[in-house]
Chain A
Amino acid sequence: MIYALIISLIFFFMINVPIAIAIALSSIVAIVIKGNIPLLVIVQKMFTATDSFPLMAVPFFILAGSLMEFGGISKRLVDFANSIVGRFSGGLALVAIIASMFFGAISGAAAATTAAIGSILIPAMVRRGYDRNYSTAVQATAGTLGVMIPPSIPMVIYGVLTGVSIGALFVGGIIPGILVGCSLMLVAFKIAKKRGYKGDEKPSLKKVFETFKEAILALLMPIIILGGIYGGVFTPTEAAVIAVVYGFLIGFFVYRELKLKDLKDILTNTVVSTAMIMFIIATASIFGWILASEQIPQVIASAILSISKNPIVIMALINILLLFLGTFMETIAAIIIVVPVLMPIISQIGIDPLHFGLIVVVNLAIGMVTPPLGVCLFVGCSIAGITLEDITKAVWPFLIAMIIDILIITYIPAVSTFLPKLFGM
């Protein structure tokens, strides 16, 4: 039965059946072969998986990000970032990374971050004479910060799956996100300096203050979200709905760039993006149920633990597996399939599930910019009008930096757990 499950899953993936449906089909094949389980379980599991209050944070964070983007937030974040780091060599590249970090603190998705900031900054970098491939590589890798810096949709999913506090994951993501952001800036700066990409003139203090004042309402948002969750005032879902209302009010009444006629598209696109994720969650719950009832995670755990019991070796293997999955598979699907399988190993070698959550999210985020497949690569390329081969040449230095980061995050648990512990989460 288990072979039928795996082989049919690979087959349906190969012929490009959508992930959610491929997972469902392979589960159906397994259930039919097993013979004694009614197919009613399929619709039953799909319903209970989507009938969830914590998962409501997914549409709310997508909607909040989208409202803020249409409401003119991304432009203001870019202006503010420009007034801080625009003066240095490769200034605009640094702006792209800082602005993506700011945007990541509002949005929970990487592709959205790449698109929102990239559509402003990739053309701006090219106009300033930066190499097009370099500009795109900077923005695509910076976009992954969208899922590392809280809020983060993959963290919500991980929390729902494992029972780890979503609030603690959010707080835990702050230092890893900043670490990755800084290392990307370092690489961008070194390359820019070598190639002689000059920065802007140093802006006056007045200018810095003005752009800060324009962006302050956007910058307050993460404080409301994280502060509310940390203070125990809101659940993550409630914080997300506050973000939606806040984003709407600012875009509509303060910045006045949000138009009623955009609203229908914003809403429909939010629903479709949500449904893509929820549909995978729905069908993966059948798949996961089969795996669990056949005790597959335990079998895999003992197989891996028979190779080595050394946590350092095992974590290295798991990192390689996650990077590979992240490259070839959609992030949410990868989390749902692989996390339940790996959990028994993690608990046996004594890794904190909170720490592991951040390892998973950062690894899969790197997968979004690892050629030949990666959602941020695709978004970046389509904005810049370049091919996958072009960006592949330029993205390597950034990837190497990110892989060093993931090693740091893996082997120094405090990077992820220090802040949550400090706040007693």
Chain B
Amino acid sequence: MNLFSIVLDRINKTIEWIVSGMLIVMVIVVFLQVIFRFIIMSSLSWSEELARYLLVWISFLGASIGVKRKAHIGVEAVTTFLPERIKKVVALIATLSAMVFFVVVIIWGYKILDVVSNQVSPAMEINMSIPYSALLVSGILMFLYSIENFVNIIKALKGGGIA
């Protein structure tokens, strides 16, 4: 395994810990919200908002783990019937297409930060670029993981081996 893959694996492992932590916080926050409403009879003002922004982060960081694990579901109805080599070429085109989308997410995920960075959230009054930057970060991660996938398919095509 080359340095690039090792670094990506490290990053992905770290992200896995981060999202696990975020999920725990999300559970605790929403649970507290219920407890406060029923037992202490007062509502928390910030809990729902915090939980929602955590969900945004979890969704997009989780999607990047999905790209790394190749876990995103596709429609395999057509490609299953293709011969091995053509299947790989098609996989190459599919990976490239996905990368186009990731670039769009990176560029406009960055641009939108300009738009929202002068807004603050209603309840916690945090800068809105904090929740919004989930898109940019996830776009970058997914793009990096796709490079790795792309290189692996090329290698498999050249070597005739199995990707």
Binding site for B on A (CB under 8 A): 12-22, 24-25, 28, 39-40, 42-44, 46-47, 50-53, 55-56, 59-60, 63, 233-234, 237-238, 241-242, 244-245, 264, 267-268, 270-272, 274-276, 278-279, 282, 328-330, 372-373
Contact = CB atoms under 8 A, between A and B. Distances in A.
A271 B77 contact: no
B144 interface: no
A47 B55 CA distance: 10
Nearest to B146: A21
Given A19-B73, A51-B56, A267-B20, 15 more contacts: A21-B72, A21-B98, A25-B98, A40-B108, A40-B115, A46-B105, A51-B52, A53-B48, A56-B52, A267-B19, A267-B23, A275-B65, A276-B72, A279-B59, A279-B62
Tell me the interface secondary structure of chain A in the complex. helix
Given A15-B79, A15-B93, A275 B60 contact: yes
Contact of A25 (B19, B23, B63, B97): B97
B153 interface: no
B97 A47 contact: no
Contact of B135 (A15, A28, A43, A275): A43
B111 interface: yes
Given A47-B135, A238-B33, A267 B97 contact: no
Interface residues of B, number: 58
A148 to B, nearest CB: 21
B27 interface: yes
Interface in B84-101: 90-91, 93-94, 97-98, 100-101
25 contacts: A14-B79, A15-B94, A17-B74, A19-B73, A19-B74, A40-B108, A40-B112, A43-B135, A44-B112, A46-B135, A47-B112, A47-B135, A59-B26, A245-B31, A264-B20, A268-B19, A271-B23, A271-B58, A272-B66, A275-B63, A275-B65, A276-B62, A278-B63, A279-B66, A373-B76
Given A271-B19, A279-B59, A47 B78 contact: no
Given A28-B101, A242-B31, A276-B73, A42 B59 contact: no
Contacts of B131: 47, 51
Contacts of A242: 31, 34
B20 to A, nearest CB: 4
